[in-house]
């Protein structure tokens, strides 16, 4: 994790740690780094989610890019995976998404994609960080007046993205009744039209963003309203997106939550049966549920775990030429169709499978037995994050917890790559045991790191 970039781009509180001045400098640095080996001026797509600070930051980053001679095409409010997809379609050199994903409205972030639609490799992120944070080492030269970049606005980007999504499923979703929570985020602009054109009968929740209500008691991190709606309204399924619509969770017809691991299990069995799962392998992370690992063994599938973060999942997929992977949080990557996690793509793949099978979603989800899993998030400062790695008492407590759980459980304690938190996850057969262990470790971390 670098000085600016975390596991999912740059993240911070808008107008405090993530200012328009910083965004402008990042825009300049990104344009310089991405154009260093090009003969022509680069073209960069810029999209955003609908939080109130996104216009400020997207205009700042576009201004920075233009100041060093890059041209910018504004896509407006659009999901993160749409930016990644449209880079190649529009023959752009890079793409930038202004979003803080599942975080509250006061946060925002900057995600950068290269010309291939993938998130930037570490060396390019480091180059951008050096240009921004160590200007004495690498000077950014402003363009001459006649070489300043231009800004234009794309028309039809939503339509182009929706057409791509529709092309990934073979038939309509006629006959399905679906409740869809758009998290008052970017999916509010695309999901109603997508699902209407695919023929599903839908009711939309939290699809009226006002700049301040993104992810507020809604979306994939707050699924209570969606669960109630599905149970009370006789829906076949519910779908929940996050603020930038790069992740998706589901609710079955009985109100049971279907997380990313379960979605991958349902889809992996189907893909293997149809010969669409390269090397019969699925990529997950160290937080992937133990039940999924057992599911893979029982169904003749190979499982590879990476560090937490969809970028690491994708890196492993590319390294081994694998086609399918994701995270429990709902970042699921269908490599045949996308270069990043895509919530709406995941949703229509799952619902298309549901339509083909003609069986309830709760029945499809029984392919995997989920182990009980609990999480604790402990607020810490940046100093606390750094101290975590060398604290002997915390290390001993974690090691003791892992030993107590044995082969029938796991404990993962890590620093968050996107928020000022240390995260504790405990998993095992006995919910009371893992609850007690997670509480004990969390209390220790709070005592030792909370006041640094």
Report phi then psi at 308, rounded to 5: -70, 135
DSSP 99-133: --TTS-TTEEEEEEE-TTSSBPPHHHHHHHHHHHH
CA dist 349 and 332 (Å) reads 11
Ordered strands of the 151-153 beta sheet: 5-6, 9-13, 107-113, 94-98, 43-48, 71-77, 151-153
Q: How does DSSP classify residue 144?
A: P
Q: What are the helix (H) ranges across 19-99?
A: 20-35, 54-67, 80-89
Identify the H or E element spanning 194.
helix 187-197
Cβ density class 331-361: b for 16+ within 10 Å, e for less: bbbbbebbbbbbbbbbbbbbbbbbbeeeeeb
Round to whole Å and give the CA distance between 347 and 241: 9
Catalytic status, residue 101: yes
Phi, psi of 373 (to 5 degrees): -145, 130
- The residue among 94, 79, 75, 107 whose CA lies nearest residue 10 is 107
Q: Which two tokens stand for residue 238?
A: 């519910």
Of 160, 141, 128, the C-alpha closest to 45 is: 160
Catalytic residue (one of 101, 206, 220, 352): 101
**Is the Cβ–Cβ distance between 307 and 423 less than 8 Å?**
no
Burial of 36 (C-beta count, 10 Å sphere; 0-12/13-18/19+): exposed
Cα dihedral 124, 128, 134, 135 sign: positive
Catalytic machinery residues:
101
């Amino acid at each position: 994790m670098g000085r600016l970039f975390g596991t999912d781009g740059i993240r911070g509180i808008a107008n405090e740690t993530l200012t328009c001045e910083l965004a402008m400098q990042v825009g300049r640095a990104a344009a310089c780094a991405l154009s260093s080996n090009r003969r022509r001026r680069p073209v960069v797509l810029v999209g955003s989610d609908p939080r109130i600070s996104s216009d400020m930051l997207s205009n700042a980053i576009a201004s920075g890019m233009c100041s060093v001679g890059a041209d910018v095409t504004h896509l407006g409010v659009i999901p993160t995976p749409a930016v990644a997809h449209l880079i190649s379609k529009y023959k752009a050199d890079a793409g930038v998404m202004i979003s803080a994903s599942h975080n509250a409205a006061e946060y925002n972030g900057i995600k950068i994609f290269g010309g291939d639609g993938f998130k930037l490799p570490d060396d390019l992120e480091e180059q951008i960080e050096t240009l921004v944070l160590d200007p004495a080492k690498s000077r950014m030269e402003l363009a001459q007046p006649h070489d300043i970049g231009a800004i234009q606005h794309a028309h039809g980007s939503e339509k182009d993205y929706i057409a791509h999504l529709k092309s990934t499923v073979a038939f309509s979703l006629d006959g399905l009744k679906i409740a869809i929570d758009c998290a008052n985020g970017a999916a509010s602009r695309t999901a109603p039209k997508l699902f209407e054109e695919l023929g599903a009968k839908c009711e939309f929740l939290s699809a009226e963003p006002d700049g301040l209500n993104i992810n507020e008691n809604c979306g994939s991190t707050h699924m209570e309203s969606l669960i109630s709606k599905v149970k009370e309204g006789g829906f076949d399924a519910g779908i929940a997106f996050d603020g930038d619509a790069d992740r998706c969770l589901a609710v079955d017809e009985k109100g049971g939550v279907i997380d990313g691991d379960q979605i991958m299990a349902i889809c992996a069995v189907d893909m293997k049966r149809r010969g669409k799962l390269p090397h019969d392998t699925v990529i997950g992370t160290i937080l992937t549920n133990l039940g999924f690992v057992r599911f893979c063994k029982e169904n003749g599938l190979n499982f590879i775990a990476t560090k937490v973060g969809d970028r690491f999942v994708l890196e492993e997929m590319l390294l081994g030429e694998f086609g399918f992977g994701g995270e429990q949080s709902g970042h699921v990557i269908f490599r045949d169709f996308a270069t990043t996690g895509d919530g709406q793509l995941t949703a229509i793949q799952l619902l298309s499978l549901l339509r083909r099978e003609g069986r309830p979603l709760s029945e499809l989800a029984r392919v995997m037995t989920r182990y009980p899993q609990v999480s604790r998030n402990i607020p810490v400062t940046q100093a606390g994050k750094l101290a975590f790695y060398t604290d002997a008492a915390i290390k001993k407590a974690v090691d003791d917890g892992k030993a107590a759980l044995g082969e029938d459980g796991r404990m993962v304690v890590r620093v968050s790559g996107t928020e000022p938190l240390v995260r504790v996850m405990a998993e095992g057969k006995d919910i009371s045991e893992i609850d007690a262990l997670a509480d004990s470790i969390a209390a220790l971390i709070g005592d030792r790191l909370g006041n640094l």
